[in-house]
C-alpha cells in the first residue's frame, strides 16, 4: 500500500519539471510538451486523491446505512476520475488549437523560436 | 378699520421694490434693443411707480395711530436653519417711510435728468439698468426687517456703486476709482458683518436668537444694557458705516468716485447710498444709546470728519471734488447728530441734504454738459449769463447748504448744532467744531458759486462759444429739487418759534428714546445758538465774497504766503499717499510674493511635478513589456512562488 | 511491499523521462520521451486502481495527442535545436532557482498536510467505526461502470459542454491552420 503522500510528492516534482521546461525552452513545441507534462502531473494527483477517498470519508459516513455509504463513497471516488476525464478532453482540444497556432506562426515567421514572436511590446 | 389699512399697507409696501427690479431686468436683458428714449422711459417710470406706491403707503400710515405705525410685510422666507431665520421681508414704519420717499422721489428726478444727460452715450441701457438695480438694492436696505437682508442691500448698493463709478470702464482712472470704492467699502463691510454675527451670537446666548430689527430693538434694553459687548457690536457696525458713508478713516473712495457720470454722483454719492450708514445707526439706535462709548466715538468721528473734509474742500479746483468733500462733511454732521442722541435730527438733515446736494450735483452736471465736460473751476467764470436757470437752482442750493435762514438746510443744520451743544452725550467742543465747519461750508460753497458763475469769463473761447442752457428734461428736475430745498425744512420747524417739530415727532416711534430729546432749554439759549449759526453762515459768505469777488488776487496771495500749508491741504493731507505706502504697497508686495513664490514655484511645481513624475514613471515602466513570452512566464512563476510563500509562512 | 517497489520503479522512470523531455535538443526525442512519461503514468494509475483511466491515458494521451505532436513536428520539419545564442541566458538559471524554491515549498506544505491525514487514517482502526473499510472496499469504484454512472448522471451537463468545446477546437484548428490560396499580407512581419 503506497502512502498518498508519495504520489503527491511525485506529482509536485513532475509539475515543477514542467514549469522549468516552460521557462527554459525556446522551442515552442517543447514548451507545449512541458505544459502537457504539467497537466499530467495534476491528473496523477487527482487520481491519487480519488482513490484514497474511502479512507478520508469513512468516518463521515458512519451514520448512514451501508448501502448509502457505499454510494456516497462511490460517487466521491468517481468524481475525481470524471474530472480527470474532462481534463484529458480539454488537454486534447488545447493541444489541437495550440499546434494549429504554432503552424500558422511558423508560416509567418519561419521559426518556432518563441523569442521571435515579440511585437507586442513597447 | 385700522386692520384694513394695515393690510392695505402690507400689500402695497411689498410691491415697491418690484418695479426697479423689473426695470433692471428689462433694460439689462434687452440691452441695445430699445431706443435711447424707450430705455429712459422704462428706467424712470419704474422708479416713478415705486415713488407713487411709497407716497400712497405714507398717507395710509399717517391715518394710523402712532402706536400702530410699524408693519411687517413679507415676500418669502429666505433662510430657516435651526434657530437662525431670515426672511425677504420688509418693515414699514416712519423711518423706512421717510427713507423710501427720499430714495424713490429724488431717485426719480435723477432718472429723468439722466435721460437728458446721458443722451448719445453708447451704454445708456446698461446705465439705466444699473441705476434701477441700485434703486432696488437701496430699497431693500431701507425696507429690510432683518439685519441679513439689510446687509444684502448694503452689499448690493456697494456693487452698483462700483458698476456705476466705473461706468466708462475704458478710462483707466474710472476703472481704478470703481475698484477703490469697492475695496475700501469691503473693509468697512467686514466690520459690519462681524458686528451682525456678534449681535446674533449675543442674542442667541441669551436665549433669543434673532436678527429681526423689531425684536432686537425691543429686547436690547434688557439684554444688553450695561454690558461691554454692545460697545463692541456697535463699533463694528459703525466701521461699516464709516466705509459706506465715507467718514474717517474710510472716506478716501468718495472723491475718486467722481469719475462716474454726474447723475450717479448725485444719486449714489450724495442722496442715497452714502446715507445708508446714517440710516443704519438710526435704525439700531436702541443699541447705540446703550453704549456711551460708541456714541462718543460716532459723534467725535462725525464732527472731526465734518471739519476735516471742509478744510480740504476750500482749496479744491475741480467742481465735483468740492462737492464730494462737501458730502463727506455733511455726512459728518449727520453722524454727529446721531452720536449725541438726536437721531431724528440726523435723519432730518439726511433728507434736506438729499434735496440740495442732489441739486448741486445735477447743476454742476448741467454746467459741465454745457461747457463740453470742463471740470476745472479755474476755467469757468461768468457762466451766469449763459445758463440762468441752472444758476438760479444752484444759487438756491448753495444758500440751503450754507445754512441761510428760511431754507431747509438752515433748519436741519441748526437742529444738529443745538443738540450737539445741549445733549448729555454732546459737548460744547463738538458744537464749536461743527460751527467752524459751518463757516467753512458757507465759504467754499459760495467760492464755488462765485468762481463758476460770476466774474470775468476764464473759459476757452471754443467752449464759451457753445455754452448754452440745458434742455428742459434736465432743468425741470433742477427746479423741482430747488423747490424741495426751500420748503423741505418746514417739516421740522423748531419749537422755539412755535412750530410743532412735526418731523421729530413723526419719527419718534422708530428711534430710541434718548435723553437728548428730553432736554429742555431756555428759549434764550436756543435763540442765541441759532443766531450763532446764522452768524457763521454770514461770515463764510462774506469771506467768500471778499476773496473771490471783491479782491480776486487775495486767494493767490494767501496761497503764496502759506505755501506749505496750502500744498498740504490741496493734496488732501496726503492721506491717499499714506494709505498707499502703508497698506496698499505692502499688500501688493505680499500678493506678488505669494503668487510668484508660493503659487508658481511651490504649488504649481508640486502639481506639475507629480504629473511629470507619473509620466516619467510610466515611461520607465513600459520596458517591462518586452513582448517575449519567456519573460512573462518567468514573472508569472515569480508571482506564484511569492504567493505560495505567504501560505508557507503562515 | 510489491506495490512500493513497482511505484519507485515507475516513479524514477517518470522523473527521468520528464527531465529528458525538457532537456532534449531534438524535438522528436522530446516527444518520444513524453510518450514514455504517459505510459509510466498509466502504470501508476493502475497501481492506484483506476484502470479505466489508465486505459484512457494510453489511448488518448499517448495514442492521439502525442501523435498529433509528432505530426506537427514532422510537418514543420524541425531538426535539432538550430537556434543561435540564447539572449536570455540568465533566465535559465533564474528559472531553475525559482522552480527549486517552488518545489521545496510544495513539499513542505504537503508534508504538513499529510501529517494530519495520517492521523486521521489511523482513526479508522479505532473503536467507534462500525462500518469497516473492507466492506466498503468490496465495491469496485474504479471500473468503467462506476465512472460512466457518475459521468452520465451527475456530470451530464459538463459532458455535453465538453463536446461543444471539442467542436470549437476542431473548427478553430482547421481555420487557423489551413493553407490559404492567396498570398498572406506581409505586414504582420516586424
C-alpha cell at B564: 506749505
Model confidence at C25, in pLDDT bands (50, 70, 90)? confident
Q: Does A114 contact B627 at a Cβ distance shorter than 8 Å?
A: no
What pLDDT, in 10s, does the model give residues B161-177?
A: 999 998 988 888 889 89
Under the banding of pLDDT at 50, 70 and 90, the label for residue C190 is very low
Highest mean predicted confidence (pLDDT) among A13-17, A53-57, B594-598: A13-17
Burial of B650 (0-12, 13-18, 19+ CB in 10 A): exposed
Over residues B223-251, the mean pLDDT reads: 86
Which residue reads 447748504 in cell numbers? B401
pLDDT the model gives residue C35: 96
For residue A35, what are the CA distances in angstroms to A16, B457, C168?
A: 11, 114, 21
Which positions ≥6 away from C151 have C-beta within 8 Å?
A78, A82, A85, C159
Write out the DSSP string of B451-507. HHHSSS--S-HHHHHH--PPPHHHHHHHHHHHHHHHHGGGGG--GGGT---HHHHHH
Reading phi first (left if > 0) and then psi (alpha if -120 to 50, else beta), residue B368 is in alpha
- Check: CB of residue B173 under 8 Å from CB of residue B320: no
- Residue-level pLDDT at C104: 85
Radius of gyration of chain A (CA): 20
Residue C185 in grid coordinates: 499580407
For residue C132, pLDDT over 70 is answered with no
Q: What is the pLDDT of residue C54?
A: 93
Contact B628 A121 (CB under 8 A): yes
B452's grid cell: 463758476
Mutate to test the interface with C, among A81, A90, A103 (most CBs of C within 10 A): A81
A62 has pLDDT over 80? no
> Any CB–CB contact under 8 A between C94 and chain B?
yes
Pick from B94, B78, B203, B97: nearest CA to B148: B78
Closest partner CB to B625 (pick from A31, A114, A122): A122
Q: With H, G, I as helix, E, B as strand and everything else as coil, classify residue B75.
A: strand
Q: Closest approach of chain C CAs to the CA of B649, in angstroms?
A: 10
Dist CA A56 CA A61 (whole Å): 10
- The enclosing H or E element of B165 equals helix B147-165
Residue found by looking up cell 392695505 in the block: B8
**Interval C138-171: pLDDT, tens:** 556 567 888 888 889 889 999 999 999 999 999 9
Kindly state the average pLDDT of the residues A34-47: 95
User: Taking a C-beta distance cutoff of 8 angstroms, is the pair B107, B43 a contact?
Assistant: no
Q: What percent of chain C has pLDDT over 90?
A: 43
DSSP string of B296-331, one letter each residue: HHHHHHHHHHHHHHHHHHTT--BHHHHHHHHHHHHH
State what percent of residues in chain B have pLDDT above 90: 19
pLDDT digits over B265-287, tens only? 898 877 788 889 999 999 988 88
Other residues' Cβ atoms within 10 Å of the Cβ of residue B36: 17
Q: State yes or no: cis peptide before B249, omega within 30 of 0.
A: yes
pLDDT at res. A40 = 95
Determine which of A96-110, B200-214, B294-308 has the lowest per-residue pLDDT on average. Answer: B200-214
A70 CB neighbours in chain C (<8 A) are 136, 139
> Could you report the predicted ipTM of this complex, rounded to two decimals?
0.89
Grid cell locating C90: 540568465
B642 close contact with C: CB closer than 8 A? no
Which residue, chain included where needed, has cell 462709548? B293
C-alpha torsion angle, residues C79, C82, C88, C90 (rounded to 10): 80
pLDDT of residue B236: 92
Of A19, A114, A115, the CB nearest to B637: A19
* Residue of A6, A10, A46 to mutate for C, most C C-beta atoms under 10 A: A10
Do residues B422 and B519 make contact, with C-beta atoms less than 8 angstroms apart? yes
The answer to which of B511-520, B569-578, C89-98, C154-163 has the lowest mean pLDDT is: B511-520
CB B599 within 8 A of CB C57: no
Name B516's Cβ contacts closer than 8 Å, sequence gap at least 6. B340, B341, B342, B419, B422, B423, B424, B425, B426
Residue B500: pLDDT above 70? no
Mean pLDDT (chain B, rounded): 84
- The alpha-carbon gap from A71 to the nearest alpha carbon of chain C, in Å, equals 9
Cα separation, B603 vs C58, in Å, equals 72
**Is the minimum CB–CB distance between C100 and chain B shorter than 8 Å?**
no
Q: What are phi and psi of B162, to 5 degrees?
A: -60, -45
In the predicted structure, residue B633 carries a pLDDT above the cut 50: yes
Report the pLDDT averaged over residues A10-31: 91
Nearest CA in chain A to B622: A122
Whose cell is 455754452? That residue is B467
- How many angstroms separate the CA atoms of B142 and C45, rounded? 102
Tell me which long-range contacts C125-128 makes (C-beta under 8 A, separation of at least 24): C128/A62
With CB atoms and an 8 Å threshold, state whether C48 touches A4. no
Which pLDDT belongs to residue B414?
83
Residue whose C-alpha cell is 456711551: B292
Asked if C137's CB is within 8 angstroms of A62's CB, the reply is no
What pLDDT was estimated at residue B470?
80
Are the C-beta atoms of residues B91 and B144 closer than 8 Å to each other? yes
Q: Does the distance separating the beta carbons of B628 and A23 come in below 8 Å?
A: no
CA distance from start to end of chain A: 56
Nearest chain A residue (CA) to B635: A23
Check: CB of residue C63 under 8 Å from CB of residue C40.
no
Residue C82 clears pLDDT 70, i.e. is over it:
no
Q: How far is residue B568's CA from residue B312's CA, in Å, rounded to a whole number?
A: 9
Taking the C-alpha atoms of residue B27 and residue B39, their distance in angstroms, rounded to an integer, is 7
Per-residue pLDDT, B205 = 83
Query: Do the Cβ atoms of C124 and A58 come within 8 Å?
Result: yes
> Which of A51-55, A118-122, B125-129 is predicted with the least confidence, judged by mean pLDDT?
A118-122
- Name B85's bridge partners: B80
> What mean pLDDT comes out for the span B452-479?
79
Amino acid at each position: 500500500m503506497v502512502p498518498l503522500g508519495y504520489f503527491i510528492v511525485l506529482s509536485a516534482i513532475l509539475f515543477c519539471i514542467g514549469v522549468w521546461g516552460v521557462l527554459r525552452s525556446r522551442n515552442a513545441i517543447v514548451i507545449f510538451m512541458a505544459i502537457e507534462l504539467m497537466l499530467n502531473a495534476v491528473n496523477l494527483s487527482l487520481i491519487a486523491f480519488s482513490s484514497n477517498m474511502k479512507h478520508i470519508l469513512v468516518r463521515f459516513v458512519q451514520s448512514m446505512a451501508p448501502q448509502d455509504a457505499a454510494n456516497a463513497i462511490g460517487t466521491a471516488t468517481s468524481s475525481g476520475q470524471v474530472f480527470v476525464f474532462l481534463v484529458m478532453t480539454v488537454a486534447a482540444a488545447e493541444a489541437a488549437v495550440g499546434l494549429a497556432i504554432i503552424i500558422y506562426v511558423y508560416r509567418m515567421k519561419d521559426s518556432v523560436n518563441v523569442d521571435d514572436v515579440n511585437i507586442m511590446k513597447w | 378699520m385700522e386692520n384694513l389699512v394695515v393690510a392695505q399697507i402690507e400689500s402695497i409696501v411689498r410691491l415697491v421694490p418690484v418695479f426697479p427690479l423689473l426695470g433692471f431686468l428689462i433694460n439689462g436683458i434687452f440691452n441695445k434693443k430699445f431706443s435711447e428714449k424707450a430705455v429712459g422711459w422704462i428706467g424712470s417710470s419704474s422708479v416713478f411707480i415705486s415713488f407713487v406706491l411709497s407716497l400712497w403707503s405714507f398717507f395710509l400710515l399717517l391715518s394710523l395711530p402712532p402706536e400702530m405705525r410699524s408693519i411687517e410685510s413679507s415676500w418669502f422666507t429666505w433662510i430657516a436653519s435651526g434657530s437662525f431665520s431670515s426672511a425677504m421681508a420688509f418693515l414699514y414704519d416712519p423711518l423706512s417711510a421717510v427713507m423710501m420717499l427720499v430714495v424713490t422721489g429724488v431717485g426719480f428726478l435723477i432718472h429723468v435728468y439722466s435721460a437728458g444727460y446721458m443722451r448719445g452715450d453708447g451704454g445708456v441701457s446698461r446705465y439705466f439698468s444699473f441705476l434701477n438695480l441700485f434703486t432696488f438694492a437701496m430699497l431693500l436696505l431701507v425696507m429690510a426687517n432683518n439685519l441679513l437682508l439689510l446687509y444684502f442691500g448694503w452689499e448690493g448698493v456697494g456693487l452698483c456703486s462700483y458698476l456705476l463709478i466705473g461706468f466708462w470702464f475704458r478710462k483707466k482712472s474710472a476703472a481704478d476709482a470703481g475698484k477703490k470704492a469697492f475695496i475700501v467699502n469691503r473693509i468697512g463691510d467686514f466690520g459690519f458683518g462681524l458686528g451682525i454675527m456678534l449681535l446674533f451670537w449675543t442674542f442667541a446666548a441669551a436665549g433669543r436668537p434673532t436678527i429681526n430689527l423689531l425684536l432686537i430693538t425691543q429686547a436690547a434694553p434688557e439684554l444688553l444694557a450695561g454690558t461691554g459687548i454692545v460697545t463692541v457690536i456697535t463699533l463694528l457696525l459703525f466701521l461699516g458705516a464709516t466705509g459706506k458713508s465715507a467718514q474717517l478713516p474710510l472716506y478716501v473712495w468718495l472723491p475718486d468716485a467722481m469719475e462716474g457720470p454726474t447723475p450717479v454722483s448725485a444719486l449714489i454719492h450724495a442722496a442715497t447710498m452714502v446715507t445708508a450708514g446714517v440710516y443704519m445707526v438710526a435704525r439700531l439706535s436702541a443699541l447705540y444709546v446703550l453704549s456711551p462709548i460708541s456714541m462718543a466715538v460716532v459723534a467725535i468721528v462725525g464732527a472731526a470728519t465734518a471739519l476735516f473734509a471742509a478744510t480740504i474742500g476750500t482749496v479744491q479746483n475741480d467742481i465735483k471734488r468740492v462737492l464730494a468733500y462737501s458730502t463727506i462733511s455733511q455726512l459728518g454732521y449727520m453722524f454727529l447728530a446721531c452720536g449725541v442722541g438726536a437721531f431724528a435730527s440726523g435723519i432730518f438733515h439726511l433728507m434736506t441734504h438729499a434735496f440740495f446736494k442732489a441739486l448741486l450735483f445735477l447743476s454742476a452736471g448741467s454746467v459741465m454738459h454745457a461747457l463740453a465736460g470742463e471740470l476745472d473751476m479755474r476755467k469757468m467764470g461768468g457762466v451766469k449769463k449763459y445758463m440762468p436757470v441752472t444758476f438760479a437752482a444752484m444759487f438756491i442750493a448753495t444758500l440751503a447748504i450754507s445754512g441761510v435762514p428760511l431754507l431747509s438746510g438752515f433748519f436741519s443744520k441748526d437742529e444738529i448744532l443745538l443738540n450737539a451743544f445741549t445733549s448729555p452725550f454732546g459737548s460744547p467742543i463738538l458744537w464749536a467744531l461743527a460751527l467752524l465747519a459751518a463757516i467753512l461750508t458757507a465759504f467754499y460753497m459760495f467760492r464755488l458759486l462765485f468762481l463758476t458763475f460770476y466774474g470775468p469769463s476764464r473759459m476757452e473761447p471754443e467752449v464759451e462759444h457753445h455754452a448754452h442752457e440745458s434742455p428742459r428734461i434736465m432743468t425741470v428736475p433742477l427746479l423741482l429739487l430747488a423747490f424741495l430745498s426751500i420748503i423741505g425744512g418746514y417739516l421740522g420747524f423748531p419749537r422755539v418759534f412755535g412750530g410743532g417739530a412735526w418731523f421729530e415727532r413723526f419719527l419718534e416711534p422708530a428711534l430710541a428714546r434718548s435723553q437728548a430729546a428730553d432736554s429742555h432749554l431756555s428759549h434764550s439759549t436756543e435763540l442765541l445758538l441759532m443766531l450763532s449759526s446764522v452768524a457763521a453762515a454770514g461770515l463764510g459768505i462774506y469771506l467768500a465774497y471778499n476773496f473771490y469777488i471783491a479782491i480776486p488776487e487775495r486767494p493767490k496771495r494767501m496761497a503764496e504766503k502759506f505755501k506749505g500749508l496750502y500744498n498740504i491741504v490741496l493734496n488732501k493731507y496726503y492721506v491717499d499717499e499714506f494709505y498707499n505706502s502703508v497698506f496698499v504697497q505692502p499688500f501688493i508686495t505680499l500678493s506678488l510674493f505669494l503668487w510668484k513664490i508660493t503659487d508658481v514655484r511651490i504649488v504649481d511645481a508640486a502639481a506639475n511635478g507629480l504629473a511629470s513624475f507619473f509620466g516619467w514613471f510610466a515611461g520607465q515602466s513600459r520596458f517591462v513589456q518586452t513582448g517575449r513570452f519567456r519573460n512573462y512566464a518567468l514573472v508569472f512563476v515569480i508571482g506564484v512562488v511569492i504567493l505560495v510563500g505567504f501560505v508557507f509562512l503562515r | 511491499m510489491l506495490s512500493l517497489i513497482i511505484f519507485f520503479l515507475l516513479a524514477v522512470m517518470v522523473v527521468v523521462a520528464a527531465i529528458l523531455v525538457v532537456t532534449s535538443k531534438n524535438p522528436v526525442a522530446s516527444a518520444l520521451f513524453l510518450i514514455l512519461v504517459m505510459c509510466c503514468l498509466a502504470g501508476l494509475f493502475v497501481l492506484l486502481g483506476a484502470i479505466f483511466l489508465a486505459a484512457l491515458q494510453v489511448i488518448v494521451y499517448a495514442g492521439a495527442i502525442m501523435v498529433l505532436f509528432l505530426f506537427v513536428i514532422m510537418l514543420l520539419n524541425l531538426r535539432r535545436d538550430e537556434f543561435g545564442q540564447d539572449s536570455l541566458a540568465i533566465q535559465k538559471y533564474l528559472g531553475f532557482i525559482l522552480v527549486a524554491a517552488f518545489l521545496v515549498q510544495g513539499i513542505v506544505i504537503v508534508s504538513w498536510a499529510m501529517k494530519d491525514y495520517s492521523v486521521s487514517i489511523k482513526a479508522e482502526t479505532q473503536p467507534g467505526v462500525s462500518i469497516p473499510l473492507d466492506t466498503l472496499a468490496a465495491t469496485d469504484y474504479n471500473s468503467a461502470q462506476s465512472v460512466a454512472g457518475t459521468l452520465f448522471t451527475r456530470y451530464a451537463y459538463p459532458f455535453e459542454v465538453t463536446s461543444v468545446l471539442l467542436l470549437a477546437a476542431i473548427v478553430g484548428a482547421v481555420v487557423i491552420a489551413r493553407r490559404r490560396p492567396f498570398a498572406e499580407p506581409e505586414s504582420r512581419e516586424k
